[in-house]
Structure 1
C-alpha cells in the first residue's frame, strides 16, 4: 500500500506545472530603449517650441 501512495504522489507532482525561471533582461532593455526614444522625441519637440517662441 505504501508504494501505491508513493506512486500516486509522484504522479500528482508530475501533473503540477513547474515554475519556470524567466529571463526578463531583454524586456527591460526594450522598455528602456522605447522610453529613451519617447524622451528624446519629447525634448526635441520642446526644443523646437523654445526656438520658435
Structure 2
C-alpha cells in the first residue's frame, strides 16, 4: 500500500498473522490426516514464533 505521499506503509501485525496462517496451511496440506491435531498446530506455531 502506498499513500499519496509515496511512503510505504506496513502493518507488521497483519504480516505476522499472514505468515502464521501460511505455515498452518502448508502443514495442513502436508498432513496425512484430515485435520491437524492441537499438538501439531502448536508445533507449527512454535517453529515460527519461538
- What is the TM-score when the length of structure 1 is the normalising length? 0.41
Determine which structure has more spread, i.e. the larger CA radius of gyration: 1
Between Structure 1 and Structure 2, the one with more helix by share is 1
Higher relative contact order structure (alpha carbons within 8 Å, sequence separation ≥ 6): 2
